[in-house]
């Protein structure tokens, strides 16, 4: 069921309440109104139930990608960093493959993720490494600090839409002149945009470009095609992958 359908249900339901309020004596137990009510209840349960289902899916996802190497775009971004600063932040760090790469390159890395399982995997993986700090945080709550590199590979589009501009200005403030941002944004044709299970923050190409006015965009790739997720689910991807360097 799409978000538009859910909005229609809410509209019907509140219209029904309004009619009841204005006509307290009337019989409103028509089939249509009963259906609206139960569809709404089912929808609320569906979303609530899916929180746990999603948690389970994230755990499955981490197991699938655990042995994956770092992303090639992280390598490109790292090589472009001319800020003289070798601190990095990995936003939504997953299982920590990119952290591992950056540490080998001599970086001090702070990785954070909202999911406990990711934090556990990364804490075990980098246990005792003084150059890695792992914390559990949402994008909006993380304490961003001045650094030469910010990664948000396949993660930032999970930001709550209401928080996005504040999160982006924190990221932008953190990147030093000559520093680099490397991450992905979601376009409106991605099938997750209309999928209620996952909150995403889609942006137009113009909106993505607008984020990088003080930067030189070094790489901009759009993927607008049918594909599969790491868990083998078919979906339509619409992703903008960006590597951009802040003006010095
Ligand atoms: C698709 S995974 C990508 C992981 C890793 N960056 C990579 O490239 O493999 C997205 C990650 O973002 C995290 N995430 C989603 N929403 C988040 C939020 N609001 N704050 C922090 N992390 C979040 C998820 O828990 C997940 O680990």
Q: What is the DSSP string of 150-213?
A: EEETTTGGGS-GGGHHHHHHHHHHHEEEEEEEEEEEE-TTSGGGG-TTS---B--HHHHHHTTT
Q: What is the pLDDT along the chain (248 residues), one digit of tens a residue?
A: 444 444 444 445 455 444 444 554 444 444 444 444 444 443 433 333 344 557 788 899 999 999 999 999 999 999 999 999 999 999 999 999 999 999 999 999 999 999 999 999 999 999 999 999 999 999 999 999 999 999 999 999 999 999 999 999 999 999 999 999 999 999 999 999 998 677 999 999 999 999 999 999 999 999 999 999 999 989 999 999 999 999 99
CATH number of 154's domain: 3.40.50.150
Structural domain count, the chain: 2
* Whether 46 and 82 share a structural domain: no
Q: Are residues 78 and 20 in the same domain?
A: no
Which of 112, 118, 117 has the alpha carbon at shortest distance from 145?
112
Please tell me if the CB atom of residue 120 comes closer than 6 angstroms to any atom of ligand 1: no
How many C-beta atoms surround the C-beta of residue 156 within 10 A? 25
In angstroms, rounded to a whole number, what is the distance separating the alpha carbons of residues 91 and 85? Answer: 18
64 lines ligand 1 (CB under 6 A): no
Distance 21 CA to ligand 1 centre (A): 45
The pLDDT, as a whole number, for residue 42 is 39
Are 198 and 224 a contacting pair, CB within 8 Å?
no
146 and 187 part of one domain: yes
Residue nearest to atom 4 of ligand 1 (CA): 94
Secondary structure letter of residue 84 according to DSSP:
S
Boundaries of domain holding 38? 3-50
**136/203 same-domain check:** yes
Phi, psi of 191 (to 5 degrees): -65, -20
Ligand 1 within 6 A of CB of 155? yes
Q: Is the CB of 158 under 6 A from ligand 1?
A: yes
The whole-number pLDDT of residue 46 equals 38
- pLDDT at position 57: 86
Sign of CA dihedral 44, 45, 49, 50: negative
> Residue 223 and residue 225: Cα distance in Å, rounded?
6
**Residues 40 and 152 both lie in one domain:** no
Tell me, yes or no, if the pTM score tops 0.85: no
């Amino acid at each position: 069921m799409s978000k538009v359908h859910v909005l229609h249900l809410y509209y019907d339901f509140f219209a029904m309440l309004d009619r009841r309020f204005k006509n307290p004596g009337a019989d409103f137990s028509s089939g249509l109104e009963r259906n609206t009510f139960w569809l709404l209840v089912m929808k609320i349960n569906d979303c609530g139930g899916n929180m746990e289902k999603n948690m389970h899916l994230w755990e499955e996802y981490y197991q699938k990608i655990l042995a994956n190497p770092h992303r090639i775009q992280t390598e490109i971004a790292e090589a472009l960093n001319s800020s003289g600063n070798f601190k990095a932040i990995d936003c939504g760090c997953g299982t920590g493959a990119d952290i591992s790469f950056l540490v080998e390159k001599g970086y001090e890395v702070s990785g954070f993720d909202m999911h406990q399982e990711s934090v556990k995997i990364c804490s075990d993986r980098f246990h005792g490494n003084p150059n890695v700090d792992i914390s559990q945080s949402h994008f909006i709550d993380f304490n961003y600090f001045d650094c030469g590199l910010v990664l948000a590979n396949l993660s930032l589009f999970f930001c709550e839409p209401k928080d996005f501009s504040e999160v982006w200005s924190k990221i932008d403030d953190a990147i030093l002149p000559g520093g680099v941002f490397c991450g992905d944004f979601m376009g409106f044709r991605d099938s997750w945009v209309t999928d209620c299970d996952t909150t995403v923050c889609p942006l137009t190409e113009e909106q993505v470009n607008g984020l990088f006015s003080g930067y030189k965009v070094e790489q901009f790739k759009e993927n607008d095609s049918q594909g599969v997720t790491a868990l083998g689910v078919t979906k339509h991807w619409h992703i903008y992958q960006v590597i951009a360097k802040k003006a010095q």
